[in-house]
Structure 1
Amino acid sequence: MHVILLSGGSGKRLWPLSNDARSKQFLKLFHNEAGEYESMVQRVWGQLSRAGAGCQAYIATGRAQVEVIHSQLGEEPAIIVEPERRDTFPAIALSAACLHTVHQVPLDAVVAVLPVDPYVEEHFFTKVLELEEALRASNADIGLLGVGPTYPSTKYGYIVPTADSDRAGAPYRLVSHFEEKPNEGRASELIGQQALWNCGVFAFRLGYMVQELEARGLPVDYDGLLAQYDGLRKISFDYEVVEKAERVIVLPYTGYWKDLGTWNTLTEEMASSLIGHAIKSEDSLNTHIVNELDIPVTVLGISNAVIAVSPDGILVADKAASPRIKEVMQHREHRPMYEERRWGRYRVIDYTKHPECGEVLTKRIRIAAGCNLSYQYHMSRREVWTVIAGAGYMVLDGKLQRIVAGDVVIVPPLMKHSIRATAELEIIEVQTGPELIEEDIVRLALDWEEIVREHVVESGNEKESLAATEVPW
């Protein structure tokens, strides 16, 4: 089986910890078996790896999340990059085209699609893999995984089976229809009809999805569909494909499942009620504090609250009111103040606009040992690096040199530069320029060996000498 994990999210529901570059699935708030903090995407990837012997997994995501995925999962995941967010049908369509023409997956192969962040038992992923056998045995177009309801929820959609679904003792049920977020009374009626919560897990033969693309006049090759992606209708896979399919089955799952989409549900599963530099009084009952800054946070006599502090802002909310944060923040746009990248992470310390030099941005950057920034230059901005700790190498306009704590480096506009850590580097970077935007970066190479081989101007003997003494890669 081939498994596609959908990693999206706008970063608003768990503000201020989440942002467009670090959605909820990347927040390290849970303990793994070693007692270390891990994120939902790390938890799910580990669970799938343990349960999915022989399955090939991919992650479909937007450009903004690629770096943090590599930071948390390494280079192992195959990533399918969406050029922009356009809901689940376009994302799944592009992923299917990628499997078909880039990865050469056979048309009769079964593909499962699921969110990257369900909070579930490991048995959930065993059940996902069982969809392949159920799909083949039933000859259905689409196979779904449905969660056995534990109460009449008004927050989830329901998958309603046909009345005679249990005949012949098959593990799956035929689907009659779907009902989206009913009121409590109707939800109770649906549960009486053996309806299941829709948890967003789909399975289909790759050939079926290719036929669906052809029927809509869409390209079935990855490059062709990518070129038309911005014209695809923004619509969910449920509405566009599942509810129109002739034969749909659902495989019931009766284990633990939870959507941790808001602060009040997330805190119920967090590893600790205090994360970071925080103190709360004993009479602060059912209150959770997450503090990502180096300043102390103290809470006295406040119960049933969530206090979250990050470089992006501060949230103080009653837990019952916390789901309103997306509504409150939906029109407030600003640059992410914290990001994880494949080479490490950075935090914005200060941002201001100065009448003489334009914008001024100060970052605290950590580059992990063995990692490097790309070889790049900027059209208009100037950078000053102050090395606080660690050691490594840098390349400035083709010249390779060692850097250590205490060094100060000035990088004017158009100067090509890269840096690699041999021991974790901590750098204070001050950027100045008329406009500090991502588009001002021109990347020439990512791989350090390629940077040294293709862009360092020392003679061959000098390079060999460097390699013989202390190889900077």
Structure 2
Amino acid sequence: MKLILLSGGSGQRLWPLSNDSRSKQFLKVLEDKENILQSMVQRVWKQISNVGLEKYTIIATGKSQEDMIKSQLEHQAGFIIEPCRRDTFPAIALAVSYLYSNQSADRDEVISILPVDPYVDDAFFNRVKDLETIIQQSEAQLALIGVSPTYPSSKYGYIVPKQIEKAKNYFSVNRFTEKPSEAQAASLIKDGALWNCGVFAFKLGYVLSILEEKGLPTHYDELLKQYETLPKISFDYEVVEKTKDIVVLPYNGYWKDLGTWNTLTEEMATNQIGKGVISEDSKNVHLINELDIPVTVLGTSNLIVAASPDGILVSDKEASPRIKELVGEFDNRPMYEERRWGWYRVLDYTKFSEDKEVLTKRICVEAGKNLSYQLHDYRDEVWTIIKGEGEFALNNELRVVKPGDVLQIKSGDKHAIRAINDLEIIEVQTGSQLIEEDIVRLYMTWEEIQEHVLSVKES
């Protein structure tokens, strides 16, 4: 069996910590057994490793999340990178074509699909392993995992089985009901309905046949070329709702969707992360502060207070899911991002009337890592080293840099830097288009950069 983890979304319900590049699965607010903060994706990867599935797992994600997920998983996983966002059906199709044409997977290979951020016990992943047997035994086109509901929730979709046969450990699916009222949910639960947790499996050939019917290529490279033209449609609408032979495997253990502040804070081991104070008479308050200034909560209860470079949220916990309705009106660039080499935080951004922009960042390059050898077309940069030591490459020349050094980089200059120990830089960009896409990467690794500089000098 092969496992495909889907990582996407913008995480608007967890604003301001989440943004277009740092979705909810990347927020380090959960604790592991050693009381070290970890993200949802790090937690899930450990659980997958605990049941021996990591060697059979690839992650499908978009370009905007590539650096962050590779950094958090320390490059342990295999990846399929979508060139643009096209929803879950194109993402799954691309991953399936990769397994088929690039990894020579057989059409009878069972493929399981899983979101990258479920909050579950390890036992859940043993249930995922059972999907392979269920697909083979039942000969169904799709097999799903359904969670036994603990209360009549209106937030989840429900899988309604046909007549339950106690002799089998799976049921045929009758229909799906999406986010019913609590009264309807209670009635569904009496009929044996299960929560739909977005986990399903199929034989590789089933999805390949759907691509063939649509006239789409099953070869990865060919599908990648057409990816931007594929319709934005979910796998549920394109495949699940049109599939007649579906079975569901029940799971009776713990499962939770940590998609809102009120559900996420219920699973946090601490009430406070970052600088600040919560007064003793403030009850059921969670404070998460990523800023360098303290936040004080005094004499109030049932709140989530979250502060990041992207903004500040003060909300009643029950009301917090509504933040998505308001955040949709914001059109700001992400102010904090994690990258494969470290992180950066936007300190200030100003746009002047004469089409000139100024952007100031604080950048951390972690020890042993480097920025790529690159150039920019539309901006100049000034770097001031404030912490650590590193090696700086500028137009095929290398030099050691230390705190207090000021580095001038003009548009068109080829440049890179490697951190000998953790290196922090204040970067000031000036130009007409201060966008992340204004990067021409020449070499990625420091070994390649050194070889290039040496070859230029020798010639």
TM-score bracket relative to the smaller structure: over 0.9
Instruction: Kindly provide the CA deviation profile for residues 371-426 of structure 1, in whole angstroms up to 9, marking residues without a partner as x.
Output: 00010011121111111111111110001111122211111111100000111101
Partner Cα distance (1:181, 1:419) in 2: 50
The partner residue of 2:276 within 257, 275, 278 is: 278
Contact 2:276 2:295 in 1 (8 A): yes
Range that drifts further, 232-241 or 356-365: 356-365
* Structure-2 residue corresponding to 1:195: 193
Counterpart amino acid of 2:126?
T
Relative distance call for 1:54 and 1:87 in structure 2 (3 A) is: closer
* Structure-2 residue corresponding to 1:380: 378
Counterpart amino acid of 2:383?
W
Range that drifts further, 103-112 or 28-37: 103-112
Counterpart amino acid of 2:228?
D
* Structure-2 residue corresponding to 1:204: 202
Partner Cα distance (2:34, 2:261) in 1: 25
* Structure-2 residue corresponding to 1:67: 67
Is 1:104–2:71 an aligned residue pair? no
**Alpha-carbon RMSD:** 1.6
Instruction: Kindly provide the CA deviation profile for residues 43-91 of structure 1, in whole angstroms up to 9, marking residues without a partner as x.
Output: 0011011113475111111100000011101112111111222221111
| Residues 235-314 of structure 1 aligned to structure 2 (within 5 Å) | 235-314=233-312
Deviation at 1:271, TM superposition (A): 2.3
Deviation at 1:232, TM superposition (A): 2.2
Secondary structure at the counterpart of residue 47 of structure 2: helix
* Structure-1 residue corresponding to 2:153: 153
Contact 1:112 1:128 in 2 (8 A): yes
Q: TM-score, with normalisation over the residues of structure 2?
A: 0.97
Contact 2:54 2:77 in 1 (8 A): no
Contact 2:145 2:199 in 1 (8 A): yes
Counterpart amino acid of 1:73?
L
The partner residue of 1:318 within 307, 316, 319 is: 316
Contact 1:375 1:445 in 2 (8 A): yes
Secondary structure at the counterpart of residue 318 of structure 2: helix
The partner residue of 1:400 within 392, 398, 401 is: 398
Relative distance call for 1:83 and 1:246 in structure 2 (3 A) is: same
Secondary structure at the counterpart of residue 228 of structure 1: helix
Instruction: Kindly provide the CA deviation profile for residues 302-322 of structure 1, in whole angstroms up to 9, marking residues without a partner as x.
Output: 111111100011111111111
Instruction: Kindly provide the CA deviation profile for residues 249-307 of structure 1, in whole angstroms up to 9, marking residues without a partner as x.
Output: 11100111000111111111112111100101111111111000110000101111111
* Structure-2 residue corresponding to 1:467: none
The sequence identity of aligned pairs, in percent, is 58
* Structure-1 residue corresponding to 2:13: 13
* Structure-2 residue corresponding to 1:166: 165
Partner Cα distance (1:55, 1:207) in 2: 21
Is 1:121–2:121 an aligned residue pair? yes
- 4+ aligned runs moved over 6 Å, structure 1: none
| Residues 402-421 of structure 1 aligned to structure 2 (within 5 Å) | 402-421=400-419
Q: TM-score, with normalisation over the residues of structure 1?
A: 0.94
The partner residue of 1:179 within 177, 180, 189 is: 177
Relative distance call for 1:443 and 1:458 in structure 2 (3 A) is: closer
- Structure 2 segments unaligned to the other structure (5+ residues): none
Partner Cα distance (2:4, 2:364) in 1: 31
Relative distance call for 1:363 and 1:319 in structure 2 (3 A) is: same
Range that drifts further, 314-323 or 223-232: 223-232
Partner Cα distance (1:408, 1:459) in 2: 25
Partner Cα distance (1:53, 1:202) in 2: 16
* Structure-1 residue corresponding to 2:427: 429
Contact 1:395 1:418 in 2 (8 A): yes
Partner Cα distance (1:87, 1:141) in 2: 21
Contact 1:52 1:125 in 2 (8 A): no
The partner residue of 2:214 within 210, 213, 216 is: 216
Secondary structure at the counterpart of residue 293 of structure 2: coil
Is 1:89–2:93 an aligned residue pair? no
Counterpart amino acid of 2:408?
I
